[in-house]
């Protein structure tokens, strides 16, 4: 299954973003950041790929720093980055 993942520099940035995205009716979920992606923050926000454009627009508007937005797929051996969004 493929989905989007926003990786933040800090847990607090993730919490603020989660609150704002949920206010905008975008379903997101806090998940552990896969070590195969980065070691920067222990948690990331998982979202449906179809929300990528809207989420990028909101992140730019609210000016919360993030490390990256990735399209990932769960595999048997962990997670695979398919694309950097």
What global pTM score does this model have? 0.86
For 56-60, what is the mean pLDDT? 94
Start-to-end CA distance of the chain, whole Å, equals 17
15 to 2, 36, 61, 78, 80: CA distances (angstroms): 23, 22, 16, 25, 24
Query: CB within 8 A of 79, min separation 6: which ones?
Result: 34, 36, 37, 72, 73
pLDDT digits (tens, 9 = 90+) for 16-38: 999 999 999 999 999 888 877 76
Q: Please, which pLDDT band fits residue 39 given cuts at 50, 70 and 90? A: low
The total of other beta-carbon atoms located within 10 Å of residue 54's CB is: 14
Residue pair 82/60 in contact (Cβ under 8 Å)? The answer is no
């Amino acid at each position: 299954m493929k989905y989007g993942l926003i990786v933040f520099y800090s847990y607090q940035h993730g919490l603020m973003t989660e609150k704002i995205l949920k206010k905008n009716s975008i379903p997101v979920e806090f998940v552990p950041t896969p070590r195969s992606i980065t070691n920067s923050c222990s948690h990331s926000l998982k979202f449906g790929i179809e929300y990528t454009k809207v989420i990028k627009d909101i992140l730019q508007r609210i000016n919360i720093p993030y490390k990256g937005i990735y399209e990932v797929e769960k595999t048997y051996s962990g997670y695979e980055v398919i694309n950097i969004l």
